[in-house]
Amino acid sequence: MADTTVSPTPSRRSFFGRFNLEVRGHMPVGRQVLVVGAGILVGLAISALLLIASGVKPSGLLNEFVIAIFKSQRNIAAVLSYAAPLTIVGLSAALAFKARFWNIGIEGQVIFGAIGATLVANHDIGPPALRLATMALAAILAGMLWIAFPLFLKLRLQVNEIISTLLMNYIAFNFLLHLLYGPWKDPQSAFPNSKIFEDFERLMPIGWQNLNLSVPIAILLVLLVAWLLGMSRYGFLLNFVYANVRAARALGVRIVALTLLFALASGALSGFGGFIISTGIESRLTQSFFIGYGFSGILIAFLARNNPFAVAFFALLIALLMVAGQSLQVFYQIPFAMVQLIQAIIVICVAASEFFIHYRLRLVG
Amino acid sequence: MDFLVNWLANVPSFAVPFALAALGLIICEKSGVLNLGAEGYMLVGAMAGAGAMLSLGQHPLLALAIAALAAGVLSLLFALLVIALRVNQVISGLVIVFFAHGLTALIATMRGWTNRAFAGLGDVDLGPLSSLPAVGRILFQQDLIVYLTIVIFALAMHVLYATHTGIRLRAVGENPEAADAAGISVGWYRFGAVVVGSMLIGLAGGYLTVAVSKIWVDGMSGGRGWIAIALVIFARWQPWPALAGAVLFGCIEALIPRMAAIGLQLPQYFVLMLPYIVTLGVMVWTSLSAGRRSGQPGALGQPFVREERR
């Protein structure tokens, strides 16, 4: 432990100069939330300055992000319809991260999920009444398929899953382009899109604005994941394993099987997210439907610290950012990349704020 | 024969980005800092290089210097996160990539640099050597950076393995507690390694636009930063094997346009998957043959806190 009675010699001076770094004990959860909240606020403030610097008037800022969105039901519906798939990919990332499997391949799994769903639609597999369910099942299987290979490499050969899942994204993307420029191209479209889905191959509307089933499904999934992590024996075992790996191993907990379960569930959720995006938003396969979801899913899970309810909260926040970003694009010609940049800035600020949860700086002497 | 010469003559310029990025990663990771942000530094370097060419005129070497510098500036943010604030290095690296994706797309779009071609870096004139048959095309019709890369590798080898700085740097990455006890400033050595390494990765990115594509497109590094990370594992954190791996990937990338040029009818998008599939293959091969000597620096990925026991 710290030996604070010995003053450091000049060569041992800390990186912070006259300050010494101390490890904190546990910080109460309430204060942790405050620290993270402060991090988010700093991130939002930096983002606001950035937007003002790129030509948005300060009054416009409030208008685009708050007033314009909550004044119109249509905009609220737009936020909710983006939040649904974002919640699902966020849950996917949270499940994988909980099991210490860095699934950076969410984007590839989303692509493959949508490919699986479109495969069913293109070949008219199953009766129309069960078509949507068949498409969802195909998407789930395709997502699991796409995570299975890196998962196998990780569990059997200790191949780093960060890089392998990421490489799988590029492979999936090229495969998507192959389909869209080749066998699946809709001859009636000038763009590389697949045939548009039939009415019974799209998520049913729920009768308010243009919202469809995606929102209630996302809510159900939040509850399901909350149950899995918080109440089921698998979630309990997982928490136990990472509280003390050696004790868990000694007691015969099958760690590999647990990782397998959670990582496959993560792939399944991402594939299902691809189903939701293609049947609920795009109604067809395009070459860009997945953009941003992999990236946002990871960031949402990080911000939410893998808590499913917090995932839903941050998915709403990012969805709001996306809808506001679209109107900034129209009214101020600010590229959509700004939305991605703002997400990264918020995460950097939150990550930096965690320093104050774990450590304390103390003036030396 | 013509096919072979055309192919091999293109290998060096495809190999250089992998080689420089892998070397930058090695320098950084030898100090114990896991740098998953390589793709981000490459993007920033590539965009800065293209921007400098488009706005400052035909000064390719200046543009490359600006590319390295831009990545160096971005790495200050990364260094702040992982060295000063001890943030998880995986998260920090990933968020740097995301940040760079957004930042480069934003700046390039707002400045109108996207999809605008420029002249770029030309080949060095080596007089009679360049006009040798076959060998001249392959070895002596290359640009300055190709030759400079070999010099940079030799220099890095010297610094890492034959100077006090290099020994201290590696000590910091292998066993920071021991290095700290010996009076070496872990933080500052890591800081230096992160900045220098990231500048090399930025140079690799700048080379992509200034010397190879001569145009900027959003996200154009196309996973090369990630491939470079896999290369470093494959090379067991040693510079010369990393260079050999880079040449291997240069061969594959140079083969793709050649196959199209001789009229081979292959499904285009499957050919484009090739580098990623080969990378996965290389990773499997590395893991099967690694045994216990992976060469990974002992403290890779772990933040150093003097008063915390590992």
pLDDT attached to residue A6: 41
ipTM of the complex: 0.90
Q: Where are the alpha helices (DSSP H) in chain B?
A: 2-30, 38-56, 60-79, 89-111, 135-140, 144-162, 164-174, 176-181, 186-207, 224-234, 239-261, 268-290
pLDDT attached to residue B292: 54
pLDDT attached to residue A3: 40
Q: In this predicted model, what pLDDT tens digit does every residue of A69-100 receive, in sequence order?
A: 778 888 889 999 999 999 999 999 999 999 98
User: Are A346 and A47 contacting, i.e. CB atoms less than 8 angstroms apart?
Assistant: yes
pLDDT attached to residue A11: 41
Nearest C-alpha of chain B: how many angstroms from A67? 25
Q: In whole numbers, what is the pLDDT of chain B averaged over residues?
A: 90
Nearest C-alpha of chain B: how many angstroms from A173? 9
User: Which residues are within 8 A (CB) of A236 and not within 5 positions of it... i.e. 6 or more apart?
Assistant: none
| Torsion of Cα atoms, B23 then B27 then B28 then B31, to 10° | 160
Query: Dihedral sign, CA of B145, B151, B155, B156?
Result: positive
pLDDT at A2 over 70: no
Which among B85, B102, B105 has CB closest to A355? B85
Test A15 with B185 for CB contact under 8 angstroms: yes
Q: In this predicted model, what pLDDT tens digit does every residue of A167-185 receive, in sequence order?
A: 999 999 999 999 999 888 8
pLDDT at A274 over 90: yes
pLDDT band at B307 (very low <50, low <70, confident <90, very high): low
Tokens for A293, please give them.
């979801």
Cα–Cα distance between B53 and B118 in angstroms, integer?
Answer: 7
Whether this model's pTM surpasses 0.80: yes
Chain B hits for A348, CB-CB cut-off 8 Å, are 77, 81, 95, 99
To probe the interface with B, which of A170, A339, A362 has the most B CB atoms within 10 Å? A170
Q: In this predicted model, what pLDDT tens digit does every residue of A312-334 receive, in sequence order?
A: 999 999 999 988 888 888 888 88
Chain B hits for A351, CB-CB cut-off 8 Å, are 81, 85, 87-88, 91-92, 95
- CB-based contact (8 Å) between B162 and chain A? no
| Torsion of Cα atoms, A114 then A117 then A119 then A120, to 10° | 180
The residue ranking higher by pLDDT, A357 or A119, is: A119
Q: In this predicted model, what pLDDT tens digit does every residue of B14-66 receive, in sequence order?
A: 999 999 999 999 999 999 999 999 999 999 999 999 999 999 988 999 999 99
Which positions 187-216 of A are in contact with B (Cβ < 8 Å)?
none
Cα–Cα distance between B32 and B18 in angstroms, integer?
Answer: 21
pLDDT attached to residue A57: 83
Nearest C-alpha of chain B: how many angstroms from A70? 27
| Torsion of Cα atoms, A177 then B22 then A351 then B179, to 10° | 160
**Nearest of A21, A14, A23, A35 to residue A358 by alpha carbon:** A23
Chain B hits for A93, CB-CB cut-off 8 Å, are none
pLDDT band at A192 (very low <50, low <70, confident <90, very high): confident
Chain A hits for B95, CB-CB cut-off 8 Å, are 299, 344, 347-348, 351
- CB-based contact (8 Å) between A158 and chain B? yes
Cα–Cα distance between A330 and A340 in angstroms, integer?
Answer: 17
Q: How many A/B residue pairs have CB atoms within 8 Å?
A: 147
Report, in this order, helix, strand and coil percent for chain A, each rounded to 5.
70, 5, 25
pLDDT band at B260 (very low <50, low <70, confident <90, very high): confident
pLDDT band at B290 (very low <50, low <70, confident <90, very high): low
Report, as an integer, the average pLDDT of B223-238.
93
User: Are B44 and B74 contacting, i.e. CB atoms less than 8 angstroms apart?
Assistant: yes
What is the 3-class SS of A115-157, one letter each residue? Answer: HHHHHHHHCCCCCHHHHHHHHHHHHHHHHHHHHHHHHHHHHHH
User: Are A134 and A149 contacting, i.e. CB atoms less than 8 angstroms apart?
Assistant: no
User: Which residues are within 8 A (CB) of B292 and not within 5 positions of it... i.e. 6 or more apart?
Assistant: none
Which positions 122-161 of B are in contact with A (Cβ < 8 Å)?
none
User: How far is C-alpha A1 from the geometric centre of its chain's CA atoms?
Assistant: 38
Chain B hits for A170, CB-CB cut-off 8 Å, are 222-223, 273, 276
Query: Dihedral sign, CA of A256, A257, A260, A263?
Result: negative
Query: Dihedral sign, CA of B264, B266, B269, B274?
Result: negative
Kindly write down the DSSP assignment for every residue of A155-177, as one continuous string.
Answer: HHH---HHHHHHHHHHHHHHHHH
The CB-side HSE value for A88 (13 A sphere, CA atoms) comes to 31
Which among B188, B276, B305 has CB closest to A21? B305
Report, as an integer, the average pLDDT of B190-206.
97
Which among B106, B269, B273 has CB closest to A335? B106
- CB-based contact (8 Å) between B27 and chain A? no
pLDDT attached to residue A42: 94
Q: Which residue of chain A has the CA closest to B96? A: A344
